[in-house]
Amino acid sequence: MRHHRIAAIGGDGIGQEVIPAGLDVLRALQERCGDFALEVEEFPWGSDFYRETGRMMPEDGLETLKRFDAIYFGAVGDPHLPDDLTLWGLRLNICQNFDQYANIRPTRVLPGLQSPLRGVGPGDIDWVIVRENSEGEYAGHGGRAHRGQDIEVATETSIFTRVGVERIMRTAFRIAASRPRKLLTVVTKSNAQRHGMVFWDEVAAQVAKDFPEVRMEKELVDAMAARFVRKPGSIDTVVATNLHADILSDLAGALTGSLGIAPTANLDPERRFPSMFEPIHGSAFDITGKGVANPVATFWTACMMLDHLGEAAASARLMRGIEAATAGGVLTPDLGGSASTKDVTEAVIAAIRGDN
C-alpha cells in the first residue's frame, strides 16, 4: 500500500465548501482503487484564523507543511481584509517559500459543456498553460520618485534570471513531450521588450536541443491571445512569463466555460518541498454559504495532485468520474444548471464507484 500525506487548507469563502467536497471524492476514490492510502490533515487557516489569532497561519505553519507530500488548497481572500494581508499571509507565502516556480493550468472543454466560442466544444480545446511563477514582471522590483510632482516617475522592472527561465522552459518541454502532439508554443514579446524577452527566446532555443521530439514554435503574446480565440485547435502546450501567462490563462478559463472548472498546480518540480493544488477561482463570497459552488475545479486539481503523487490510474479514474457528471448534465448554476455542490459531489462519487 502506498501512502501519501496531504495537508488540506480550505481557506476562505467557498474554499471551505469545495475542499471538503474534494476530500469526500478522494476518500471514495481511495476505497475504489484500494492500492494507496491518503493521510489527510486539515488546517483551519485563513481569514477567520486571522481574526482569532492575528495571523493567517501559525508562525511554524511552513515547518508543519514541509512534512506533507502535497497541499490541497481552497481559496483565500476576504472582502473585509486587504489582499496584501490575506494573499501574502497564506497562499503566496507558501508559493514563494516552497519555490513553487511552475504554475500549470490544464484547459479543456469538458463533455457536456460548451465554449462561448461559436462551434467550439469538447475536443477542440485541449491545452496546458505553463506559467513562470517566481520572477518576471511580478518580482516587485521598482520604485516611485517625485511623488505628486509633474516629474513623478514610477518604475516596474521585470527580473529574468537564467536559472529561472531555464527551469520553467525545461518543465514546459517535459510536459509538451509527455503529450500526444508534442507541440510547445513559447510566448514572448521580443519585438517590443528587447532584453528579457529576447533572453527568453535564447534560452528556449538552447533548452529545445535537449528535447528533439518536441516541435517548438514562437508566438508574440498579442498574436497568441488572438490565436486562442481564432484557432484554438492549433494549440497544445504553452509557456509564458508570469504576467503574460496570468492574462492568457484567464482568457483560456473563460473560453472553456466557467472559472468554477479551472484547476491549477503550483509545482516544485524538483520536489524539495510539497507542491500545492488549488482551483483557479477565489473565495467568491457572493455565493458562499449557498451550497452552489462548483466543485469541479477542486476535483480536477485533485487529479493533478494524484498525478504528482504517482497515482496516474487513480487520477484517470477521477477524471472519468468528473466527465461522467458533466456529460450527464449534473451542472451547478455557473454552468447553467441547477445542481448543488453536494449533487455534483454525489454524482462524481457514484461514477467512481461504478467505474470499472
Instruction: Say if residues 295 and 258 touch (Cβ distance below 8 Å).
Output: no
**Separation CA 281–CA 258 (nearest Å):** 9
From its phi and psi, is residue 271 left (phi > 0), alpha (psi between -120 and 50) or beta?
left
Identify the CA nearest to 172 among candidates 161, 182, 163: 182
Rounding to the nearest 10 degrees, give the CA dihedral for residues 341, 347, 350, 356: -130
CB of 259 to Mg ion, least distance (A): 8
Measured CA to CA, the distance from residue 156 to residue 308 in angstroms comes to: 35
**What are the counts of helices (DSSP H) followed by strands (DSSP E) for the chain?**
12, 12
Q: Determine if 345 is a binding residue for ligand ATP (CB under 6 A).
A: no
- Does position 284 interact with ligand ATP (CB under 6 A)? The reply is yes
Residue labelled with grid coordinates 517535459: 174
Query: Which range touches ligand ATP (CB under 6 A), out of 138-146, 149-157, 281-289, 320-328?
Result: 281-289
Q: How far apart are CA 2 and CA 19, in angstroms?
A: 23
Q: What is the DSSP string of 4-35?
A: EEEEEEEESTTHHHHHHHHHHHHHHHHHHH-S
* 286 near ligand ATP, judged by CB under 6 A: yes
DSSP 8-class letter at 55: S
Cell representation of residue 284: 467568491
**CB of 322 vs ligand ATP, minimal distance in Å:** 14
Compute the distance between CA of residue 265 and CA of residue 72 in angstroms, rounded to an integer: 10
Residue nearest Mg ion (C-beta atom): 282
Report the nearest approach of ligand ATP to the CB of residue 333 (Å): 7
- Candidate ranges 62-70, 179-187, 233-241, 284-292; the one touching ligand ATP (CB under 6 A): 284-292
Our finding on whether 282 is near ligand ATP (CB under 6 A) is yes
Which parts of 66-95 interact with ligand ATP (CB under 6 A)? 77
Q: Which is nearer to ligand ATP, 246 or 311 (CB)?
A: 246
Q: How many residues in the shown chain lie near ligand ATP by CB under 6 A?
A: 16
Nearer Cβ to Mg ion (69/78):
78
The three-class DSSP label of residue 250 is helix
Decide whether 198 or 259 has the Cβ nearer to ligand ATP. 259
Number of residues that bind Mg ion (CB under 5 A): 1
> In the window 208-247, what residues touch ligand ATP (CB under 6 A)?
none
Cα 255 to Cα 119, 181, 348: the distances in Å are 12, 21, 24
**Main-chain phi, psi angles of 158, to 5 degrees:** -85, 140
Q: Convert residues 305-334 into a mask of x (bound to ligand ATP by CB under 6 A) and - (unbound).
A: ---------------------------x-x
User: Of 78 and 236, which CB lies nearer to ligand ATP in the complex structure?
Assistant: 78
Q: What is the spatial distance between Cα 81 and Cα 52, in angstroms, rounded to a whole number? A: 14
- Classify the phi-psi angles of 253: left when phi > 0, otherwise alpha if psi is within -120 to 50, otherwise beta: alpha
287 binds ligand ATP (CB under 6 A): yes
Q: Is 260 in the site for ligand ATP (CB under 6 A)?
A: yes
Question: Binding mask 272-291 vs Mg ion (x if CB under 5 A, - otherwise)?
Answer: ----------x---------
Determine if 260 is a binding residue for Mg ion (CB under 5 A).
no
**Partner from Mg ion, ligand ATP, none binding residue 77, C-beta < 5-8 Å depending on class:** ligand ATP
- Residue 128 or 284 having the CB closest to ligand ATP: 284
Told to check if 283 binds ligand ATP by CB under 6 A, we report yes
**Contacts to Mg ion by CB under 5 A:** 282
**Contacts to ligand ATP by CB under 6 A:** 14, 77, 259-260, 281-287, 293-294, 297, 332, 334
